[in-house]
Structure 1
Amino acid sequence: MDLLAPFWLLLLVPLVGLGVTYVVMQRRRRRYAVRFAALPLLDKVAPEQPGWRRHAPAAAFLLALTALALATARPVIDLRVPHERATVIVAIDVSRSMQATDVEPTRMDAATEAAAAFIENLPETFNVGLVTFSGSSAVLATPTTDHESVAAALENLPMANSTAIGEAVFTSLEQVASMAQGDDSVDVPARVVLLSDGTNTAGRSPDEAATAATEAAVPVSTIAYGTQEGTVEIQGRMVPVPVDVDSLAGLAEGTGGQAYTAESGDELAEVYEDIGSSIGWRTEPREITPYLAALGFLLSLAAGAMSLRWFARLP
Structure 2
Amino acid sequence: MDINLGDFHFLRPLWLLLLPFAALLPLLWRRSRDLQRRLRSNIAEHLLQHLLITPRDQQRLRPVHLVCALLMLGAVAAAGPTWEQDRPEFLENRAPLIIAIDLSPSMDASDVQPSRLEAAKHKLHDLIQRRSGARNALIAYAGSAHLVLPPTDDPALLDSFIQALGTDLIGKPGKNVGVVIDQAKRLLAAEKTPGTLLLITDGADTSGLAGLDQQLADSALQVLILAVGSEDGGLIHNANGQPRTDSNGRPVLGSFDQAALKQLASAMDAPLGSLTLNDDDLDWIELHAQQHFQSASDEQRELHWKDAGYWLCWPLLLIAFFSVRKGWSLNWMAGFLLLIGVGLQPAPAQANALVDAFFTPDQQGRWAFEHEHFPQAAAHFVDPYWKGIAAYNAADFDLALASFARLQTPQAYFYLGNIYVRRFKFDEAIAAYTQALKLQPQFPEATANLALAIALQKDTESAEQNAPEVKPDEIKMDKAPGKGQSKALQTEQAASDELWLQNLTTSPARFLKQKFSLQDQMGPKP
Question: Could you say which TM-score interval applies, normalised by the shorter chain?
Answer: 0.5 to 0.7
1:145-164 → structure 2 map (5 Å cutoff): 145-160=153-168, 161-164=173-176
The two structures, once aligned, show a CA RMSD in angstroms of 3.2
Q: Is the 8 A contact 2:224 2:270 kept in 1?
A: yes
What residue number does 1:171 align with?
183
Q: Which residue number corresponds to residue 112 of structure 2?
A: 103
Map 1:191-202; keep pairs closer than 5 Å. Answer: 191-200=196-205
In the other structure, the counterpart of 2:290 is: 280
1:92 aligns to what? 101
Superposition deviation, residue 217 in structure 1: 2.8
Residue aligning to 1:244:
257
CA contact (8 A) 1:253 1:259 kept: no
Q: Distance in 1 between matches of 2:159 and 2:184?
A: 17
Matches within 5 A, 1:265-276: 266=277, 269-276=279-286
Q: Secondary structure at the match of 2:196?
A: strand
Worse overlay, 205-214 or 149-158: 205-214
Q: 1:99 offset after TM fit, Å?
A: 0.6
Match of residue 229, structure 1, among 227, 232, 240: 232
Change (3 A) 1:196 1:226: same
1:207 — aligned with what? 210
Indicate which of 148, 152, 160 corresponds to 1:144. Answer: 152
CA offset at residue 97 of structure 1? 0.5
Q: Distance in 2 between the 1:82 and 1:123 partners?
A: 16
1:106-145 mapped onto 2 (5 Å cutoff): 106-122=115-131, 124=133, 126-145=134-153
Match of 2:217, SS state, is: helix
Which stretch shows the higher mean deviation, 213-222 or 153-162?
153-162
8 Å contact from structure 1 (residues 199, 244) kept in 2:
yes
CA contact (8 A) 1:135 1:163 kept: yes
Partners of 1:162 and 1:201 within 8 A in 2: no
Q: Give me the whole-angstrom Cα distance separating, in 1, the residues matched to 2:111 and 2:152.
A: 33
* Paired residue type of 1:173: K
Aligned-residue offset at 1:252: 3.4
- 1:240 to partner: Cα distance: 3.0
TM-score, normalised by the number of residues in structure 1: 0.54
Q: Secondary structure at the match of 2:146?
A: strand
- Per-residue CA deviations over 1:156-187 (Å, capped at 9, x if unaligned) read 3131442222222222222212222xxxxxxx
Find the structure with the greater CA-based Rg: 2
Q: CA deviation at 1:219?
A: 1.2
Q: CA shift at 1:123, angstroms?
A: 5.2
After superposition, the Cα gap between the structure-2 partners of 1:199 and 1:255, relative to the gap in structure 1 and judged at 3 Å, is closer
1:111 partner amino acid: A
Preserved CA contact (<8 Å) 2:145 2:183: yes
Q: Within 1, Cα distance between the matches of 2:166 and 2:123?
A: 18
Q: Structure 2 CA distance, aligned partners of 1:86 and 1:270? A: 18
Could you tell me how far apart the structure 2 residues matched to 1:163 and 1:255 are? 15
Q: Which residue of 1 aligns with 2:431?
A: none
* SS in structure 2 at match of 1:207: coil
Q: Which has the higher contact order (CA 8 A, sep 6+)?
A: 1
Partner of 2:40: none
- Shift in CA distance, 82/247, structure 1 to aligned 2, threshold 3 Å: farther
Give the distance between the partners of 1:83 and 1:210, measured in 2 at CA.
29
Q: Which residue of 2 aligns with 1:74?
A: none
Q: Which amino acid aligns with 2:174?
A: S
Q: CA deviation at 1:201?
A: 7.5
Conservation of the 8 A alpha-carbon contact between 2:222 and 2:270: yes
Alignment-mate amino acid for residue 211 of structure 1: Q
The residue aligned with 2:220 is: 217
State the alpha-carbon separation in 2 of the partners of residues 177 and 117 from structure 1. Answer: 27
> Any conservation in 2 of the 1:131–1:168 contact (CA below 8 Å)?
yes
In structure 2, what is the Cα distance between the partners aligned to 1:116 and 1:134? Answer: 21
Query: Mean Cα displacement is larger for which, 134-143 or 161-170?
Result: 161-170
Q: Paired residues, what number?
A: 197
Following TM superposition, the consecutive aligned residue runs of length 4 or more in structure 1 with deviations greater than 6 angstroms are none
Tell whether the 8 Å contact from 1:219 to 1:255 is kept in structure 2 after alignment: no
Cα deviation for residue 230 of structure 1 reads 1.4
SS in 2 for 1:215: coil
Q: Please tell me whether the aligned partners of residues 85 and 189 of structure 1 are also in contact (alpha carbons under 8 angstroms).
A: no
Aligned partner of 2:491 in structure 1 is none
Q: How far 1:213 moved relative to its partner? A: 1.9
| In 1: Cα distance, 2:146 partner to 2:288 partner | 26
In 1, Cα distance between equivalents of 2:120 and 2:137: 16
Contact 1:131 1:138 in 2 (8 A): yes
Kept in 2, the 8 Å contact 1:123–1:280? The answer is no
Contact 1:87 1:191 in 2 (8 A): yes
Residues 217-226 or 147-156, more deviating: 147-156
1:259 aligns with 2:264: no
CA deviation digits over 1:102-141, x for unaligned, max 9?
Answer: 00111111111101211221251x3210001112111111
TM-score (norm 2): 0.34
Superposed counterparts of 1:18-57, under 5 Å: none
1:237, CA displacement in angstroms? 3.2
Tell me: CA distance 1:156–1:198, structure 2 relative to 1, closer, same or farther (3 Å): same
Q: Which amino acid aligns with 1:230?
A: G
Q: 1: distance between equivalents of 2:263 and 2:215? A: 14
| Matched residue, 1:289 | none
